């Protein structure tokens, strides 16, 4: 579910095909997605100029279900703050 609507909006004009265009697309501070995996939800949000995400793992849920793929990434590391850096 989107949450915390922000001022402004985006317009998308993809190719010359008007059926792929979208205008006045609202901006949200965060989006919460329930049960992206069994017992695991996700929160996507914008912070300090970056898109970030958190996985919320319920008790007894298996965090090994989480799989991420990053096309075009040169490197994927966990930094000294235990943050995933792509």
Domain assignment present for 78: no
Q: How many domains does the chain have?
A: 1
Domain assignment present for 71: no
Q: Is residue 34's pLDDT more than 70?
A: yes
Domain assignment present for 80: no
- Paired sense of beta strands 84-85 and 22-37, if any: unpaired
Domain assignment present for 5: yes
Domain assignment present for 77: no
- Strand locations in the chain, DSSP E? 2-12, 22-37, 40-47, 50-57, 77-78, 84-85
Domain assignment present for 37: yes
In terms of Cβ atoms closer than 10 Å to its own Cβ (0-12, 13-18, 19+), residue 19 is exposed
Domain assignment present for 6: yes
Q: Is residue 81's pLDDT more than 80?
A: yes
Which pLDDT band, with edges at 50, 70 and 90, does 22 fall under? very high
For residue 17, report the phi and psi dihedrals to the nearest 5 degrees: -85, 105
Question: Which domain, by its residues, includes 14?
Answer: 1-59
Domain assignment present for 11: yes
Q: Is this prediction's pTM over 0.75?
A: no
Mean pLDDT of the chain: 88
Q: Is residue 2's pLDDT more than 70?
A: no
């Amino acid at each position: 579910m989107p949450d915390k609507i922000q001022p402004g909006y985006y317009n998308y004009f993809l190719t010359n095909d008007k059926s792929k265009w979208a205008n006045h697309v609202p901006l949200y501070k965060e989006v919460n997605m329930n049960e992206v995996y069994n017992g695991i939800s996700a929160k996507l949000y914008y912070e300090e100029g970056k898109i970030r995400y958190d996985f919320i793992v319920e008790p007894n849920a298996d965090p090994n279900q989480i799989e991420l793929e990053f096309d075009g990434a040169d490197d994927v590391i966990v930094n000294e703050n235990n943050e995933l850096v792509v």
